[in-house]
Amino acid sequence: MTPPIPAKGHYDIGFLLLPGFSQLAFSSALEPLRMANHLADRTLYTWHLVSRDGAAVEASSGLATAVDQALEPMPALDLLLVCGGVEVQRYDDRATLAWLKRLAERRIPLGAVCTGGYVLARAGLLDGYRCTLHWEHISSLHEAQRFPGVAFTSQLFVMDRDRYTCSGGIAPLDMMLNLIGRQQGLALAESIAEEFIHERIRGVGDRQRTPLRVRLGHSHPKLEEVANLMEANLQELLELDELASYAGLSRRQLERLFQRYVGCPPLRFYLELRLARARLLLSQTHMPITEVAMACGFVSPPHFTKCYHDYFGHSPSSERKRRHDRQADLVEPPEASEPPLDGTGESESLPCGD
């Protein structure tokens, strides 16, 4: 079994910095490589910073970062990561897009952090792949029907064959820790996470947590107020009349708001929030299933198990087993012939229904 990037002693990774790139996302991808070298006490990774013309690149924060070289001469790399940021939709540099295509022709694995995936997609290098972007950009791409050949997901990061994409913020840290774990072993990846006070290495099955106001579509301030109340009271549940009263609404008004803007009754939405919270606890903690049920407002474990199975199609114990399977993937990567390394493919969306 071999990782998508060949297992060897030393890796050369390039970072293409685009104007307005996210300094946080870039650093989150680079720093694990530095720490890997430090903890291993030898050079496991080297990196090269690249810009279109070899000049320093200004990040979205206004800070300029010096680079090692321009696009040419083309460096010998094991992986190239495109680092994007603000206003990436306007980026249309033909020389850079052509350069990325030449890298792909040489079968150099390509990846992106934050919005860099947009540039790979614009170059036609994500067609037929699963990938991810920051949640702010995914919805707009769907609405504009851009890049129909690309399967965008809400995952934190996606490792699909020779394409590695992740969302913004500190998500690149998790992607690189997974990559290091597969190449150098889980022990080193966990040691790096401890050095960075990163309590858990998130896996390919983890998803971006879209803000509640975005999930509701900025639809109505009263609706957002009630939804926030629900989210703050998942263990000690509030009655529907209480929720309506806190928001200065009648029960009937509250029910109409949810039906109009969310498409389901308020109690159904409340249940979905509780089940989503339970799923996070099952996958991210060692809490016993009984305690998870109580923490999410379920009166008994059997009732919790039934609701969970009805909604997700599998039991809470199966969810916990999936967590162990994901951790095992860090130790031993899947066969190249297996499905792409992007989780089970099931949707995290919370459909409304009775």
Average pLDDT over residues 1-7: 51
Position 142 scores a pLDDT of 54
**Is residue 191 domain-shared with residue 272, that is, in the same domain?**
no
> CB-based contacts of 350: which residues, under 8 Å, 6+ apart?
272, 275, 276
- Encode pLDDT of 126-176 as tens digits: 999 999 887 767 655 654 567 888 888 878 899 999 999 998 889 999 999
Indicate whether 30 and 149 sit together in one domain: yes
Q: What is the mean pLDDT of residues 342-349?
A: 33
CA distance 112 to 88: 12
Q: Which helix (H) or strand (E) holds 80?
A: strand 79-83
pTM: 0.65
The DSSP annotation for 9-46 comes to S-EEEEEEEPTTB-HHHHHHHHHHHHHHHHHHTS--EE
Measured CA to CA, the distance from residue 352 to residue 276 in angstroms comes to: 13
Same domain? For 135 and 20 the reply is yes
Helices (H), 247-300: 251-261, 266-284, 289-295
Same domain for 192 and 217: no
DSSP, collapsed to helix, strand or coil, labels residue 271 as helix
Question: Among residues 309, 215, 213, which one has the least CA distance to residue 263?
Answer: 215
β-pairing verdict for 57-58 and 64-65: antiparallel
Q: Is residue 345 part of a domain?
A: no
Q: Are residues 191 and 236 in the same domain?
A: no
| 186 and 250 in a common domain | no
Q: What are phi and psi of 157, to 5 degrees?
A: -150, 160
In this prediction, what percent of the chain has a pLDDT beyond 70? 82
Contacts 24+ apart (CB under 8 A), 42-48: 43/10, 44/9, 44/10, 44/11, 44/184, 45/10, 45/11, 45/12, 45/13, 46/10, 46/11, 46/12, 46/13, 47/12, 47/13, 47/14, 47/15, 48/12, 48/13, 48/14, 48/15, 48/75, 48/77
Reported as a pLDDT band with limits 50, 70 and 90, residue 346 is very low
User: Domain for residue 113, yes or no?
Assistant: yes
pLDDT at residue 145, rounded to an integer: 61
pLDDT grade for 350, boundaries at 50, 70 and 90: very low
In a domain, 339, yes or no: no
Residue range of the domain that includes 227 = 212-328
Q: What digits encode the pLDDT tens for the residues 248-276?
A: 999 999 999 888 888 889 999 999 999 98
Q: Are residues 173 and 297 in the same domain?
A: no
User: Which H or E run contains 131?
Assistant: strand 130-132
Taking alpha carbons only, the member of 261, 271, 266 closest to residue 251 is: 266
Supply the pLDDT for residue 199: 81
In a domain, 206, yes or no: no
229 domain-assigned: yes
Q: Which of 137, 165, 196 finishes a domain?
A: 196
Q: What is the mean pLDDT of residues 1-13?
A: 66
- Tell me: do 116 and 189 sit in the same domain: yes
Judge whether 203 lies within some domain. Answer: no
What CA–CA distances, in Å, run from 44 to 77, 94, 132, 165, 187?
14, 33, 27, 22, 15
The first and second tokens of residue 238, run together, are 């509030």
Domain assignment of residue 6, yes or no: no
Under DSSP, is residue 111 helix (H, G, I), strand (E, B) or coil? strand
Q: Would residue 352 count as lying in a domain?
A: no
Query: Could you tell me if 89 and 158 lie in one domain?
Result: yes
- Phi, psi of 125, rounded to the nearest 5 degrees: -100, 5
Overall size of the chain counted in residues: 354
* Model pLDDT, residue 284: 66
Residues 223 and 294 in one domain: yes
Same domain as 61, residue 119: yes
Mean of all residue pLDDT scores within the chain: 84
Examine the pLDDT at 34 and tell me if it is beyond 90. Answer: yes
Within 8 A by CB and 6+ apart from 101, the residues are: 123, 124, 125
CA pair distance 174, 330, nearest whole angstrom: 11
CA 341, CA 204: separation in Å to the nearest integer?
7
Which residue type sits at 122? R
Q: What DSSP string runs through 151-199?
A: EEE-BSEEEETTEEEE-STTHHHHHHHHHHHHHH-HHHHHHHHHHTT--
CATH for 245:
1.10.10.60
Q: What is the mean pLDDT of residues 239-252?
A: 94
Q: Give me the number of domains the chain comprises.
A: 2
DSSP summary character for residue 321: H
CATH assignment at residue 67: 3.40.50.880
The mean pLDDT value for 19-23 works out to 93
Check residue 168 and give its pLDDT: 84
Q: Between these two residues, 328 and 170, which has the higher pLDDT value? A: 170
- In a shared domain, residues 229 and 187: no
